Chain A
Amino acid sequence: MSTAEQNRAAEGGRTPTGVARGLTQGATGTRGGIGESTLRPDGVLKVTGEFAYSSDLWHEDMLWGHTLRSTVAHARIVSIDTAEALATPGVYAVLTYDDLPTEVRHYGLEIRDTPVLAHGKVRHHGEPVALVAADHPETARRAAAKIRVVYEELPVVTDEASATAPGAVLVHEDRDDHHSGHVPHPNIVHRQPIVRGDADAAARRADVVVRGEYVFGMQDQAFLGPESGLAVPAEDGGVDLYVATQWLHSDLRQIAPVLGLPEKKVRMTLSGVGGAFGGREDLSMQIHGCLLALRTGKPVKIVYNRFESFFGHVHRHPAKLTYEHGATREGKLTHVRCRIVLDGGAYASSSPAVVGNAASLGVGPYVVDDVDIEALALYTNNPPCGAMRGFGAVQACFAYEAQMDKVAAELGMDPVEFRQRNAMEQGAVMPTGQVVDSPAPVAELLRRVKAMPLPPERQWETTEGADVRALPGGLSNTTHGEGVVRGIGYAVGIKNVGFSEGFDDYSTARVRIEAINGEAVATVHTAMAEVGQGGVTVHAQIARSELGVTQVTINPADTQVGSAGSTSASRQTYMTGGAVKNTCEAVREKVLAIGRRKFGTYHPAWATAELLLEDGHVVTDGGEKLAPIAEVLEDEAVDLELEFRHRPTQPFDLRTGQGNGHVQYSFAAHRAVVEVDTELGLVKVVELACAQDVGKALNPLSVAGQIQGGSTQGLGVAVMEEIVVDPVTAKVRNPSFTDYLIPTILDTPSMPLDILELADEHAPYGLRGIGEAPTLSSTPAVLAAIRQATGLELNRTPVRPEHLTGS
């Protein structure tokens, strides 16, 4: 489809609220099936600025909502006076906790511990306290500023020592969640030990033992489209909610009871999502917008600005990690002991699952028979932390890969070779006892990434002098080569794919095939949140491959179809892609049944051959065309909605951590080449090469995009990205893109890729979820390279200039 056609298709199909009604994708010249790099239907719209994001939603007569947030981290709310705000002309409603319509006043992904609006207490800086709806966003904002909240500040707990000290204030006083019974302290959300073999005995066999303590800073998802949505009250007393989210049905489950509505009266439609990375798994404006809409009887839009967005979603857990690795002279790991303390902040969010990941993946992609692991997440008064790309595996990878380099150095061994000697392969046993039953080409990925040619030395030199853009500091003109030292580092990681620990993880797809103007066309309807990952592209490819059609319409994601599960955990191509494939197969069988009924007597192949749908026809496996699909269907349509599940998993034993907890594993390796201005402590990542096994690349271009994006996000937390929280007040010090820095294109190096496709026989098409693995190893690879350039230990990420200059 041409650009103009694409625009027209999207424009013509736009609802009054800016939600595209359906993205119709054709395919010209090629089949547009799986394995091809078909282009994304939203791509042109996004780069030309025409794509409607949730912040562009608009409705006639709508009001604007605004959230008043706490200015302190931990306090008793003495009083809230809304009178002056309510009296402001243009204000339609002001809501506090006392205005909530039902007894269900909390929500949460795993534990319902988060108040819809603060009740009696605020537990972190930026917690929602009150809501305002007004006829103009400025009016709402100013009215909110007139709400008088009297706080009586309470002491804050901000780390493990303060949270578990005798007499420490409890962040949640009366816990009765399903983890509260087994945690050693009420300020610990969840704790997961994993014990396998005998680490003490194994330690005695070790020739070298290396210990380290590591600190991982708080990273933000920094998606570019801030939280936003539009709630429209409906005539039946329900509400229509248009919102940018990651999992519509999970939102729905949390929203409806607070509103006192049955789920079917809360109709949700996905609006244009400007990135997610885990930060939209938790609710933001959803309940607030609906409450205001139902209260005022008018459509209400809420859009956070960038400042508020830093308070509007959870962040990546900062962590303190303590590791001990032992190895024999021959370079075989004897044992690993580790303790991973994650700061979950004031509310649980997905902390328990993050703990499970950090623990079960805490040793990395290595064979170690004797391990003693403990991971836990704290409740503190810091900002709540939850899902972010890599989900617990990122923090662990940063630490265990630093350890692997340290052990190799201690043994005088090449760090890549040392990793390869301990690399897991198919058939290896995880610390949880789970057997890795699909390809695990860890040593091979390392070999490939190491074999790539290195960028030339002194690559900044040109005939005209130094090109500062190629040097640390870039255009800031800090060096013309002085003090610059190159370093090279390697890392590899392991990430689980899909929801783990016994969760009933499924996805639903509805597929319809019908003949329109003599051509068979397909419609795919799922509730999958397209957050930029390219799911809508892949679904059309799958439908084309399975149904032999060219034109596929992807309906907007909404709650009129069954749950697709979350767009997270690298799971959507596997799960909703799998669901689309699964439903297409069932649809195909129905089409063939119709064909047999109508034409079976004309040709024996209808009864005897294996039949496929290809190029708009029913064909035999020998390639003989039996009939056009459109003629088979005539005016009959086949329309099915089916659920798809991956293999079941098990919870981890609470004491030993044993259990087949994960569905699939995903592996990537990086080589980072950095240039460090050792005098100024500035870093230029010159190249970040990655080798990854993707099982099967359904769309090679999207795969490359995911790997490069994930690598860049890992680079960000290696050298710049950190939310700085004041240790005394627990307040966020840099909630803006002025001081929360993310990589620009000048910070983003060339990223050569080597993509391996070793099929996992348990997964649809043999594919592997790929979105997260590259985020893991990129950070430790960059750190390793900086360590090599500087000779410094660098136990903390992100690295700041003063860490490199010692000043």
Chain B
Amino acid sequence: MEFLRPATWQEAVAAKAEHPSAVPIAGGTDVMVEINFDHRRPEHLLDLGRIPELSEFDTDSGSGTVRLGASVPYSRIMEHLRTQAPGLALASHTVASPQIRNRGGVGGNLGTASPAGDAHPALLAGGAEVEAVSVRGTRLIPIDDFYVGVKRNALAPDELIRAVRLKTATGPQQFSKVGTRNAMVIAVCAFGIALHPEVRQVRTGIGSAAPTPIRARAAEEFLAAALEEAGLWESRAALPPAVARQFATLVSGAANPIDDVRGTASYRRHALGVMARRTLDWTWREYRGAERTESCA
């Protein structure tokens, strides 16, 4: 195994072009597990650790965007992006342990593209774009097109993730994950929701309940229509319970889960419904300004 250590982003992109099968390593919290267990024996490891811009983020209030370097660790997202990317900050909080959160980041989560990755529901709900770079140039992959199969993503073999772009949150966002212990656990299933009042949209993301992370589109459309019809975006009135119930049912129905050692398919469907109802309630209350519902963890 050869260890490539590019000093600059240009060198990294060139190295990836030269060795398309090289495995990038950022925090290493997925890569090293695979290597230790002999699940993976890459010929080249491409260390991204020396490229400072990957660990930086910019928030541009003018354009209303957040550009999050691929290697920014979860602990910094939790700390610095709670206002701009609240859903992703909450999701970051649920990842693993402090040690892992100090190393692992969103670029790695996207690289692995596990249906259980915690960033994905938040990225789907937030409507993120993945900035993929190769010697051929840069393209922005909408997050909806990024997950193409079980642990497969839309990156070409010569591409690296430079950053993730998110619109600065214009409305409340929530993230919720079920695991069988109270910390340091892989999701049995997870749910993210973001209200986008400026475009009168609701976006969602479901984790660990289908071969890839997915959106619950029917639920989103139903909710947006219901809010529109009743004029709730303007009135900020309470959400009719029947709407919340139907939203939950549609989220449940969007999932396509399996039975495995972590949980049963029917539990996953059930839990998604509960999480959908609760997180909608929290976001809508926050939207109404009725009360503070943010967790203070």
Contact = CB atoms under 8 A, between A and B. Distances in A.
Interface stretch (B59-67, B141-149, B256-264): B256-264
Contact of A747 (B183, B261, B295): B183
B274 A472 contact: no
Interface string A727-747: 000000110001101011111
A747 B181 contact: yes
Interface stretch (B14-22, B130-138, B171-179): B171-179
B297 interface: yes
A724 to B, nearest CB: 5
B2 interface: no
A465 B278 CA distance: 15
Contacts of A801: 178, 180, 188, 263, 267, 271
Nearest to B264: A802
B79 interface: no
Interface in A779-807: 800-802, 805, 807
Contacts, number: 124
A305 interface: yes
A467 to B, nearest CB: 6
Contacts of B274: 483, 679-680
Interface stretch (A410-418, A443-451, A474-482, A545-553): A474-482
A466 B295 contact: yes
B38 interface: yes
Contact of A480 (B90, B94, B295): B295
Interface in A439-476: 462, 464-469, 472-476
A528 to B, nearest CB: 34
Interface string B177-216: 1111111111110000000000000000000000000000
Interface string A188-215: 0000000000000000000000000000
B287 interface: no
Contact of B269 (A464, A467, A479, A807): A807
B278 A807 contact: no
Nearest to A685: B182
Given A739-B261, A739-B262, A744-B181, A476 B295 contact: no
A807 B273 CA distance: 12
A268 to B, nearest CB: 30
A480 B293 contact: yes
A307 interface: yes
Interface in B259-297: 261-264, 266-267, 269-271, 274-275, 278, 281-282, 292-297
- Interface residues on chain B, size class: 35 or more
Interface in A208-237: none
Contacts of A482: 278, 281
A682 interface: yes
B235 interface: no
A476 B293 contact: no
A681 interface: yes
B19 to A, nearest CB: 22
Nearest to B270: A807
B213 to A, nearest CB: 17
A613 interface: no
Given A480-B293, A805-B267, A800 B180 contact: yes
Given A307-B37, A801-B271, A802-B263, A476 B296 contact: no
Interface string A292-331: 0000000000000101000000000000000000000000
Interface residues of A, number: 44
B182 A473 contact: yes
B56 to A, nearest CB: 26
A805 B268 CA distance: 11
Interface-centre pick from A307, A469, A478 (highest chain B CB count, 10 A):
A478
Contact of A477 (B263, B271, B292, B295): B295
B252 to A, nearest CB: 10
A734 B185 CA distance: 14
Given A679-B274, A801-B178, A801-B180, A469 B297 contact: yes
A267 interface: no
A141 B38 contact: yes
A467 B296 contact: yes
Given A476-B176, A680-B178, A801-B178, A466 B296 contact: yes
Contacts of B174: 477
A42 B294 CA distance: 43
A802 B36 contact: no
B167 interface: no
B261 A465 contact: no
A479 B185 contact: no
Nearest to A679: B274
Contacts of A469: 182, 297
A556 to B, nearest CB: 31
Nearest to A804: B267
A719 B94 CA distance: 20
A771 to B, nearest CB: 24
B120 interface: no
Interface-centre pick from B178, B180, B183 (highest chain A CB count, 10 A):
B180
B177 to A, nearest CB: 4
Interface in A701-758: 719-720, 724, 733-734, 738-739, 741, 743-747
Contacts of A464: 292, 296
B93 interface: yes
A750 B263 CA distance: 28
A679 B278 CA distance: 11
Given A473-B179, A475-B297, 20 more contacts: A141-B38, A464-B292, A465-B293, A472-B182, A473-B176, A474-B183, A475-B94, A476-B176, A476-B178, A477-B177, A478-B177, A478-B275, A719-B181, A720-B180, A744-B181, A746-B183, A747-B181, A800-B180, A802-B263, A807-B266
5 contacts: A141-B38, A464-B296, A465-B293, A476-B176, A746-B184
Among all A-B residue pairs, the 3 with the closest Cβ atoms = A474-B182, A802-B267, A807-B270
